[in-house]
Structure 1
Amino acid sequence: MITSLSGSWSLILGASSGMGLATAHELARHGVNIVGVHFDTAAGQEKAADAEREIRAGGVQAHFFNMNAAAQRTREELVPRIAELTGGQGVRILLHSLAFGTLGPFLPAAGQPGIAARQMNMTLDVMAHSLVYWTQDLFAAGLLGRGAKVYAMTSSGDRKVTAGYGAVSAAKCALESHVRQLALELAPSGVAVNALLAGVTRTPSLERIPGSDRLAEVAARVNPHQRLTRPEDVAEAVVLLSRTDSSWITGNVIGVDGGESLTA
């Protein structure tokens, strides 16, 4: 059954840029109230504050928190706050869009040291394991009800090898495994969990990848649409998939790439 999203709530982890920010704006246009978590310095904080004001101007509630989404203390503080903000209604949509990890070789190369254990652990914790911890805490607090949707942003690093991308690739593989396990365990509660695999998209996280310009050039050329994926494409997919109470689409890696994977 297709339902309206108006008046519902979303929690976006990584809300100040890229796909998280685009999704916040698109959901707000459909009447969804936004709780956003981001972790930024001054310039990023200003951008997030501007987004918060713009979303509120559209007539919905928006509450952005500049906190480390991977930290236990953040969850301990924000989960009760979310319960308060939503009046116990909980979140209809949880989007995990955290892209903070270490880029670098496993073995020393070109003057770079091999990745350290703390860097590997941090990358996996932020980009993969935090999805599990947020879902656990929201579910335990009764804030993920029947019809809720959980999305995690993955990438082609789940199966392709790129220089310096090893730790992030490992995180994406772990993230997809977590999605499948959460989908299994949340199915009796009517909560759907899926990973979204976007095509190459111009975001701050892409810009940090060595050789990103060449990557983008190739992706735009081979994509059947003859352009890169945009954050707004992902945002529209989130809205489309969320407008049903059904949890029958769950445990999947859903491509949002305009057919890029067909020809890449």
Structure 2
Amino acid sequence: MVLGVSAGSGAAIARALAKDPGLDIFGVHRGRHPDSAGAVARDLGALGRKLHFRIGEAGTAESARAGAEEVLLVAGARQVKVLVHSIANASVGSLVTRGVTQLTPRQIEKTFSSMAHSFVYWVQELAARDLLAPSARLIALTNPVVGSLCPGLGVIAASKAALEVYVRQLAIELGPLGHRVNLVNFGLVDTRAGSVGFPSEAWEQAKARAAAVTPARRLCTVEEVGRLVSVLTGDAAEWFNGATIDFTGGMTQSLLGIVLNASGMDSNQGR
């Protein structure tokens, strides 16, 4: 099950899980990238895997409840081997700075609901309906922004910090049942979601600077993120639990802050 499956990291993870360990995919997306979602469907079909799309919001308690009911109808009990939270639905803006767009309470609440709270909502609903398979792997995604001071990204950083706490708490509660809950922290990736808030020229500069401060001198790819998630579903990764897994390729949080601050982040933009 992949929340945010139509593009970017979510799409790459769906492809990777369909290939190895060979899972059918229940994917949720908002329908904003039909061409990309169609490509995911074709690729999974070529691998011989089943795909069920639920088109709609995934970042609220109500959507989690309705989605879990749909999973029960489509797949039945104890069929969710992997849950991946890859929702990108946040607002960019200042908290108090004058002269730029300030975030409203509604934008802050939406960001926290989509980027953090919804992971809990989906786990709650899946568990309540006995939908989690034995030794299920529950995986959320974050990035080094959570530890950086970047203009316009304060509420995203705060929501990702909350997500990290949720992962540890869920690991404590679900560990005795045999489930594993982890957080993957990967570096800057070149996706549409990642570029929101940057003017096009500034986004190119941010990518170049991020590559320059990464030991391999390049950005992480979404395909690499997908392969890591595949690894985390296997027996060799069973002892990972409650962990924030560093997959930044050596890019430190402080360096990313320098990269983004130097790249002309536009606090007036949001998503």
Moved more, 123-132 or 207-216: 207-216
| Aligned counterparts of 1:188 and 1:59: Cα–Cα separation in 2 | 34
In structure 1, the residue matched to 2:160 is 172
Query: Normalised by the size of structure 2, how large is the TM-score?
Result: 0.87
In structure 1, the residue matched to 2:14 is 24
| Aligned counterparts of 2:89 and 2:231: Cα–Cα separation in 1 | 27
**Does residue 239 of structure 2 align to residue 251 of structure 1?**
no
Q: 1:75 to 1:262 in 2, by over 3 A?
A: closer
| Aligned counterparts of 1:130 and 1:223: Cα–Cα separation in 2 | 31
| Contact 1:201 1:229 (C-alpha < 8 Å) held by counterparts | yes
Q: Which amino acid aligns with 2:19?
A: R
- The superposition leaves residues 59-104 of structure 1 with CA deviations (integer Å, 9 ceiling, x where unpaired) of 0101112110013343233212212332323211100011111101
- The superposition leaves residues 158-190 of structure 1 with CA deviations (integer Å, 9 ceiling, x where unpaired) of 111101001101111111011111111111111
| Contact 1:222 1:263 (C-alpha < 8 Å) held by counterparts | no
In structure 1, the residue matched to 2:3 is 13
Query: Normalised by the size of structure 1, how large is the TM-score?
Result: 0.89
**Does residue 145 of structure 2 align to residue 154 of structure 1?**
no
Identity score, percent? 32
The equivalent position to 2:84 in structure 1, one of 63, 70, 95, is 95
Structure 2 stretches lacking a partner, 5+ long: 256-271
| Contact 1:34 1:63 (C-alpha < 8 Å) held by counterparts | yes
Equivalenced residue count is 251
| Aligned counterparts of 2:108 and 2:210: Cα–Cα separation in 1 | 28
- Three-state SS of the structure 1 residue aligned to 2:93 is coil
| Contact 2:231 2:237 (C-alpha < 8 Å) held by counterparts | no
Q: 1:206 to 1:79 in 2, by over 3 A?
A: same
In structure 1, the residue matched to 2:112 is 124
| Aligned counterparts of 1:199 and 1:132: Cα–Cα separation in 2 | 24
How far residue 256 of structure 1 moved from its aligned partner, in angstroms, is 1.4
In structure 2, the residue matched to 1:222 is 213
The equivalent position to 1:237 in structure 2, one of 219, 225, 228, is 228
In structure 2, the residue matched to 1:260 is 251
Q: Which amino acid aligns with 1:23?
A: I
Give the alignment of 1:39-188 within 5 angstroms: 39-41=30-32, 44-110=33-99, 112-188=100-176
Root mean square deviation, CA, Å: 1.8
| Contact 1:147 1:244 (C-alpha < 8 Å) held by counterparts | no
How far residue 56 of structure 1 moved from its aligned partner, in angstroms, is 1.7
| Contact 1:145 1:189 (C-alpha < 8 Å) held by counterparts | no
In structure 2, the residue matched to 1:8 is none
